[in-house]
Structure 1
């Protein structure tokens, strides 16, 4: 009788724990969707403006929304304290956040830097907590169906309101007139979301039937074409090729893959440093729809401050203190909100050491784990690799690293998921961690 009662009690506790975990996941899912929609659509639908560097104030409603998402995740943990412990922020991400905090000591606008860094830190915390609680399957499914709803909303907006299409009558530049933006603030915000939608329905789709995947992919590709988001249109095909290559990848071949990656990076670096064609493009103010002029200004500041930079988030949109006014007096100073190159923006804010650290943590270390972890499935490895590669290339023409943009949030999800999955898998990365922990214990004793 006692054994039967004890068994019934255990079964009751297990079922109760499952129900509590599902309730917690529901709250976490809502928080993740809130964060994603705030980064993708914002709080002012169809809002368009030319943001200059005098615009120091943030979006108060967006900040309140991010804080509300954090509150939901806190409630989920407090309400169900006996459930699985939340995932901790990976040490590598914590190091990057620590370096950003350190940069406040030399920031040109410490209060603005601190506010932007707090929002980025909250973004990282939400993503880590959500991915840890939801896991890969639930996280990707939530993203998929959120993106499908956004895709439908985009088409409805285009065919029901002129505000969903860029127009010179709305004070926008003639180069974007006629380009679709849907419910997004700009076509360049729509492009990455549509590209990620395509990748999510190409790889690791599990039980999602092709009869649904094909229409979503075709509609996303059509909207991407009509948006004329050139960066995403150029970057998406190689990202898909990387994903396809990962379908046939064997972790035992990782050294050959790393040799190819390092060789390609060395060739690209040599081209950037020594190619007269690249130098001409950077000096040409009209290159890449004006990006050459922006990059030229950034490189001038890098020559002056190569090691420290202006501080986290303290170059663009900080008011009269911005160095851009001293370096340039054209439209770059008055109508540009970022450098259209994530790596250059990192150098002008965190210096060369900060840029190298960020690239290692956000791109190279997750890729190393992805290539070395044995138990990560091929479809999931393909999707994660495609997203990371897409974000890495996207930052050559747009700026998203260490921000709260859609590209950075999607990259964060991929990076955190890679850490989460690699921690459960054997591989070279685990052997390296064990050796480091062993050395650390020996030094400590």
Structure 2
């Protein structure tokens, strides 16, 4: 296949999984104005067909290049252990049909991430992401301007931008991570610099227009981390990794605080209305204790009629997630699934530190920055291991793209089986 056509297909595939070109918000009401699930989207069936087409395309491309797939696949075996738990969870799920179907789709989603990792270098992947996010940012602006009744929240969050996505928080999450590849593109641009910088600045504006405090906080965290991570390539000092770790802890704590400010004040003896997420978390933790090892089955807990629906009797809310990725993984897949998932994240974090330090290009900072983004965002939103998840695709691709590195002598590194040493 022509490399340019294949790259274009990869970009279009990511746009499909992102939900942007599917215009998920079109025809659907906002919270408090028809409900986020109210209405129907005429493009849903088209997007479903496109996703299945990409799964077929992925299997074909992996099969014809099988020899180049095995080594990247083995770079993070915890991912495949997690996929095994997900695929098999229908055996103990409260809704076996749902867990079986969604488990298969999530495995296929992982294979698309494997395809990207096995086919493209980190630099090439970053180019694909830059095109994907650049198109998404411009399209979101045009969509929201042309269709403000759908692109801008009309109900509870009136005035907040959600763009072509279902909710303002989904939009903020997507745009917040888009700023990193777009910044990389702007810093390295030799042609069309003003246009690329303009798109990057537009992405910042869209984060602000979403009015998401978490999105804005994560954006500032990522922008602070870019020069810190770049310093890994310029110095061997242990202070830089320590500072990165401190920023990660601080950002996680700040994200928790901005989303639970009222319960926090209540705990200090103040008397605001108690509206944070802590009540939801307490309910979910109690449920995890009921089935600690394997959970309630992949994506089964919050199904109508499932155990998660009982939350409305305790806190008078109807939910589809725990607003905490760590708890959602544990309640669906138990402590075994959680250990595989979280273990992969932590492994990716430390591998990302080494990869950023050894690599000489700004693109080599991506895996570290992306896993930090996931670690922070999962404090308040489920941002990973979801069916047809754009974010899971990017995680699998980032983790499996980092070749194994071993120290030869202090200060010298050997990358996998290549005869290449970076000092």
The interval holding the TM-score normalised by the smaller chain is 0.7 to 0.9
Deviation (angstroms), 1:280: 3.9
Q: What are the within-5 Å matches in structure 2 for residues 229-308 of structure 1?
A: 229-249=212-232, 252-253=236-237, 257=241, 261=245, 277=264, 280=267, 290-308=276-294
Aligned counterparts of 1:184 and 1:342: Cα–Cα separation in 2: 19
Partner of 1:396: 379
Residue 406 in structure 1 maps to residue 406 in structure 2: no
Deviation (angstroms), 1:65: 2.2
Q: What are the within-5 Å matches in structure 2 for residues 43-82 of structure 1?
A: 44=24, 46-48=26-28, 50=35, 61-76=46-61, 81=64
Partner of 1:27: 6
Is the 8 Å Cα contact of residues 43 and 61 (structure 1) preserved in structure 2?
A: no
- Measured at CA, do residues 126 and 405 of structure 1 come closer, stay the same or move farther in structure 2, by a change above 3 Å? closer
Which of 1, 17, 27 is 1:38 aligned to? Answer: 17
Q: What are the within-5 Å matches in structure 2 for residues 301-380 of structure 1?
A: 301-316=287-302, 318-320=303-305, 322-329=306-313, 334=318, 336-361=319-344, 363-373=345-355, 375-380=358-363
- Measured at CA, do residues 44 and 389 of structure 1 come closer, stay the same or move farther in structure 2, by a change above 3 Å? closer
Stretches of structure 1 that go unaligned for 5 or more consecutive residues are 1-19, 53-58, 435-445
Aligned counterparts of 1:311 and 1:47: Cα–Cα separation in 2: 31
The range that moved more, 323-332 or 190-199, is 323-332
Residue correspondences, number? 384
The structure where helix makes up a greater share of residues is 1
- Cα deviation 1:291-334 (Å, max 9, x = unaligned): 23322321231233333321221111x221x1123344267653
Deviation (angstroms), 1:256: 7.8
Could you say what secondary structure the match of 2:277 adopts?
helix
Stretches of structure 2 that go unaligned for 5 or more consecutive residues are 30-34, 38-43, 257-262, 418-423
The range that moved more, 87-96 or 391-400, is 87-96
Is the 8 Å Cα contact of residues 154 and 182 (structure 1) preserved in structure 2?
A: yes
Q: Which has the larger radius of gyration?
A: 1
Partner of 2:420: none
TM-score normalized with structure 2 length: 0.77
Is the 8 Å Cα contact of residues 284 and 331 (structure 2) preserved in structure 1?
A: yes
Partner of 1:55: none
- Measured at CA, do residues 178 and 148 of structure 1 come closer, stay the same or move farther in structure 2, by a change above 3 Å? same
Is the 8 Å Cα contact of residues 116 and 397 (structure 2) preserved in structure 1?
A: no
Is the 8 Å Cα contact of residues 295 and 330 (structure 2) preserved in structure 1?
A: yes
Partner of 1:5: none
Deviation (angstroms), 1:215: 1.2
TM-score normalized with structure 1 length: 0.74
Q: What are the within-5 Å matches in structure 2 for residues 98-247 of structure 1?
A: 98-168=84-154, 173-174=155-156, 176-203=157-184, 206-207=188-189, 210-247=193-230
- Measured at CA, do residues 83 and 108 of structure 1 come closer, stay the same or move farther in structure 2, by a change above 3 Å? closer
